[in-house]
Amino acid sequence: MLWSDDGLELRPHPFNDSWTDKIASNYRSVITTALITEGATPYENGRRLTLLVDHAHGTASLANGQLELMLQRRLMQDDGLGMNEAMDERAPFSSPMWLLAEAPGARATLRKELTEQLNSVEPVPALTPVDRVAWRAANPAAAVRGLTSDLPPAIRLFSCLATGPEMFRSVVLRLAHAYAVGEDPEYSKEVELNLADLWAPPRELSTIGAHGLTLNPPVFDDGPTLPMTTLNTLDVVAWMLSFRPTNSTF
């Protein structure tokens, strides 16, 4: 059966044989990962054929053991769905991908690492070159590191944004658990994390507010949030962190 992700988790797509157009009705979107598997779930102990992409495509499994990807769309005549013209995409196309033939019992860690490599955005230089050594010597307070330790292997940094009227006094931190239930025998577990241990001295947390992903009102209304937190599988959590006054910046 075909599985594809919505940007966060894999979803099943049983073959739909009831529609007249069996090709169009069985195409689904894929954001990073599409796979076909022998088992009833993508995490069972069976063989998997996995395709990793760097941006969204259309994918389908129109026959047993087959996985296909739509790269360009070509219609000989208008389909009556709004374009009012035929579609004939002929521009040169280049897109890096990984195709994995995974044996039974294969860990999900390699798939996660390759997916992150494909979807990592390279920084684009947009400022005048600066002599970093001279700049740091003239601005010693700016040389303080933000994070003092690596995150646990199952946790990903979603974003870290300085906010508030006094820059770097408050930070919006978003963390995500990268694994689903049953996806990996070691990492598909809840992870305990001490937010206070993430920051290098002299930076010291003063208040912590746990929020939803979009910074809606705090999810905990029974007093200050403790620095110890737990992320379950596929959790994405945001915190508003405030630091005690210091002369350093990130």
pLDDT at 137: 67
145-243 shares the fold of 2-75+94-119: no
Residue for token digits 């026959």? 63
**Extents of the domains making up the chain:** 2-75+94-119, 145-243
Q: Tokens 């979009």 map to which residue?
A: 214
Greater confidence (7 vs 206) lies with: 7
Q: What is the distance between the alpha carbons of residues 227 and 125, in angstroms, rounded to a whole number? A: 36
pLDDT at 221: 43
User: Which range, 62-71, 164-173, 194-203, is most confident?
Assistant: 62-71
Q: Rounded to 5 degrees, what are φ and ψ at 68?
A: -130, 160
* Average confidence score pLDDT of the chain: 79
Of 85-94, 101-110, 187-196, the poorest mean pLDDT is in 85-94
Joined tokens for residue 190:
């809840």
- The answer, yes or no, to whether residue 220 has pLDDT greater than 50, is no
Report whether pLDDT(33) > 60: yes
What pLDDT score was predicted for residue 49? Answer: 92
In 3-state terms, what secondary structure has residue 116?
Answer: helix
Higher pLDDT, 233 or 214: 233
**Angstrom distances, CA of residue 184 to CA of 4, 56, 116, 181, 191:** 17, 25, 17, 8, 14
Helices (H) and strands (E) in the chain, counts: 2, 14
Going from the C-alpha of 45 to that of each of 51, 52, 109, 188, the distances in angstroms are 18, 20, 15, 15
pLDDT digits (tens, 9 = 90+) for 113-135: 898 888 876 655 656 666 666 76
pLDDT band at residue 179, thresholds of 50, 70 and 90?
very high
- Over residues 24-53, the mean pLDDT reads 87
- Three-state DSSP class for 168? coil
Q: Which CATH architecture is the domain 145-243 placed in? A: Sandwich (2.60)
Instruction: Report which residue type is found at 187.
Output: Y
- Cβ-contact 248, 140 below 8 angstroms: no
User: What's the CATH code, domain 2-75+94-119?
Assistant: 2.70.98.30
Q: Which residues of 57-85 are buried (b: 16+ CB within 10 A; e: fewer)?
A: bbbbbeeeeebbbeeeeeeeeeeeeeeee
Residue 58 has pLDDT above 80, yes or no: yes
Confidence of residue 34 (pLDDT cuts 50, 70, 90): very high
pLDDT at 51: 94
Instruction: Look at 87 and 99; give whichever has higher pLDDT.
Output: 99
Task: Tell me the pTM.
Answer: 0.71
Q: Pick 66 or 210 by higher pLDDT.
A: 66
